[in-house]
Amino acid sequence: MRYAFFAGCTTLARLWGYEKATRKVAEQLGVELVDMPGSSCCGTTYLETLDHKTGVAVAARNICIAEEMGLDVVTVCNGCTEVLMKANKELKEDPKLRAEVNEVLADVGKEFKGTVEVKHFVRMLKDDIGLEKIRSEVEHPLKGLRVGTHYGCHMLKPSDIMVQDDPEAPTTLDELVEVTGAESVAYPNKLECCAGPIMGIREAVTWSVGLEKVETVKKYADLLITACPFCYLTYERCQLIQENSPNVPVVHYPQLLGLALGIDYDDLGFDSNKIDASILQKFAEG
Amino acid sequence: MTERKEIRMSEADKGFRERLMETPGAEKLMLCYQCGTCTADCPVAMRVEEFRPRQIARLAAYGQKERLLGGDTVWLCAGCYTCYERCPEQVRISEIVSALRKLAIKEGIIHPTYRALMNTLAEMGYIYEIDDFQNEMREDEDLPPAPEPDTKEVEKIMRKTGFLGLVEGG
């Protein structure tokens, strides 16, 4: 299996551990992630709220690169996933918008043709590789590990775009945690937003939202799992700035899966997790 | 949004509601019957007194442009889509907030954080600078260099639609 790999600004610039673990896990499962030459920021969810056409056009330019490569796109950021999936769907379904956007894209020598799909890495794992196949590849079941999952809003919503899971009772990430042998625990307010998008407007609100989540998770689980760089940074940062940090490890899903697949702890980028996640070493060995 | 609850029709901006409802996403504004599901379930409203999604719909219906666009109100939505999913009338306040932002930038109103972000995007092609230093660090981590965005193309797109002209500079 081959995919065009769209890592997104935040992961490329700051979350090397996430990217590294994603690439390692893909390799282990026989998935080739091909970088997209000339690709830019997805456009951000912010841009689309300011100007619809511009947002769709910047997203479409990236999709066009994948179309030229003849590959479906795999993303690791919920924001990118929503932006690219929404643009892709709207452009496929709305001929008027497509004509308008293609007029803009013509100036940069691109044309949206509607020939590829966009999906988050975790959707690719579940839908294209499959839980059974992944289970059969697990070498170190993470028995006894209790995990709190955080989906992040834009993996699920708006649900008329992100159609693959139930926005009020999602299961994908929990199933993917359970195949590693770990237990995905229920905890209150599991689906609450990380509030990362208003970090630049009311920082204190974001930290308060984040802290409430990690403090809750601490009562139920050994660590928190994310699959989005923004959610990850919120839950990590909100703890780092506390004097009495709850010290709940925040781990990128591919790091967890990588351990279960038998990839070395040292090859999964844990040195870039700023809250010590070495508790995982013991589970992988045991 | 001020704390004042009452709405004065003398402060209504003529045609504002109509302009808003012509903006994609805000078409169903007038279906709002003020049930308050949006505010009750909003993670920001839970913590920020001045952010009340139901009140946004009410002020919009009465053309209260200044109260809506004056402060941080429309910039405080985190875009979590909880109200979008749960609105019994599919009014989708998050989309009304987006439509309000679209009207705001046409009047030269944009939150400085958004302005900075959009200018960085046009300039760098990313929302962060990814330069040689970053790529050296990436190399140390055994990662390939970050794709080099064609910044001229991104900027050209943003300019061609007229968007960049509205938000550039500071």
Q: Residue A266 carries which DSSP code?
A: G
Q: What is the pLDDT of residue B5?
A: 76
Note whether residue A237 is domain-resident.
yes
pLDDT per residue as tens digits for the range B50-92: 999 999 999 999 999 999 999 999 999 999 999 999 999 999 9
CA-to-CA dists, residue A9 to A5, A130, A186, B72, B148, angstroms: 12, 28, 31, 26, 11
- Is the pLDDT confidence value at B3 over 70? no
B80 contacts on A by Cβ (under 8 Å): 153, 157, 193, 195, 197
Same domain membership, residue A46 and residue A6: yes
Are B20 and B60 in contact, with CB atoms under 8 Å apart? yes
Same domain membership, residue A158 and residue A206: yes
Tell me how many degrees the CA angle B22-B92-B126 measures, rounded to the nearest 5. Answer: 85
**pLDDT (mean) for B127-145:** 92
Four-point Cα dihedral B11, B63, B69, A193, nearest 10: 140
Tokens at residue A184, please? 């995905």
Give dist(CA B15, CA B13) in Å, integer: 6
Note whether residue A25 is domain-resident.
yes
A168 contacts on B by Cβ (under 8 Å): 85
Give dist(CA A250, CA A238) in Å, integer: 11
- Is the pLDDT confidence value at B1 over 60? no
Q: What is the pLDDT of residue A286?
A: 53
Note whether residue A133 is domain-resident.
no
Note whether residue A50 is domain-resident.
yes
Are A28 and A258 in contact, with CB atoms under 8 Å apart? yes
Q: What is chain B's mean pLDDT, rounded?
A: 94
Which long-range contacts (C-beta less than 8 Å, at least 24 apart) are formed by A20-24?
A20/A267, A20/A268, A20/A269, A20/B141, A20/B142, A20/B143, A21/A252, A21/A254, A21/A255, A21/A257, A21/A258, A21/A268, A21/A269, A22/A76, A22/A121, A22/A252, A22/A254, A23/B143, A24/A254, A24/A258, A24/A263, A24/A267, A24/A268
Domain boundary among A68, A93, A120: A120
Percent of chain A exceeding pLDDT 90 equals 97
Chain A nearest-CA distance from B16, in A, is: 17
Same domain membership, residue A148 and residue A113: no
Note whether residue A29 is domain-resident.
yes
In the structure, what pLDDT confidence band is assigned to residue B2 with cuts at 50, 70 and 90? very low
pLDDT per residue as tens digits for the range A32-50: 999 999 999 999 999 999 9
A153 contacts on B by Cβ (under 8 Å): 78-82
Give the least confident one: A92-106, B3-17, B32-46: B3-17
Q: What is chain A's mean pLDDT, rounded?
A: 97
CB contact under 8 A, B149 and A195: no
CA-to-CA dists, residue B149 to A9, A187, A216, angstroms: 11, 41, 40
Note whether residue A202 is domain-resident.
yes
Domain boundary among A51, A86, A120: A120
Q: How many domains does chain A have?
A: 2
Give dist(CA A124, CA A146) in Å, integer: 24
CATH of the domain at A241: 3.40.50.11810
B80 touching chain A per CB within 8 A: yes
Same domain membership, residue A215 and residue A160: yes
CATH of the domain at A24: 1.20.1050.140
Residue with tokens 């997203």: A59
Are B33 and B27 in contact, with CB atoms under 8 Å apart? no
**pLDDT (mean) for A55-68:** 98
Residue with tokens 């709002």: B32
B24 touching chain A per CB within 8 A: yes
Give dist(CA B94, CA B169) in Å, integer: 27
pLDDT per residue as tens digits for the range A71-104: 999 999 999 999 999 999 999 999 999 999 999 9
Q: What is the pLDDT of residue B170?
A: 67
- Map out the domains of chain B as residue ranges: 9-106, 112-167
B76 contacts on A by Cβ (under 8 Å): 198, 201-202
How large is the angle between the packed helices A52-69 and B151-160, nearest 10 degrees? Answer: 140
Same domain membership, residue A97 and residue A23: yes
Q: What is the pLDDT of residue A50?
A: 98
Q: Report, in this order, helix, strand and coil percent for chain A, each rounded to 5.
A: 55, 10, 35
- Domain span at residue A115 reads 2-120
pLDDT per residue as tens digits for the range A164-184: 899 999 999 999 999 999 999
Which CATH homologous superfamily contains domain B9-106? Alpha-helical ferredoxin (1.10.1060.10)
CA-to-CA dists, residue B93 to A147, A197, B30, B37, B52, angstroms: 33, 17, 11, 10, 10
Are A248 and A217 in contact, with CB atoms under 8 Å apart? yes
Q: Sheet containing A146-149: which strands, arranged edge to edge?
A: A183-184, A146-149, A223-226, A250-252
Percent of chain A exceeding pLDDT 70 equals 99
Other residues' Cβ atoms within 10 Å of the Cβ of residue A137:
17
B7 touching chain A per CB within 8 A: no
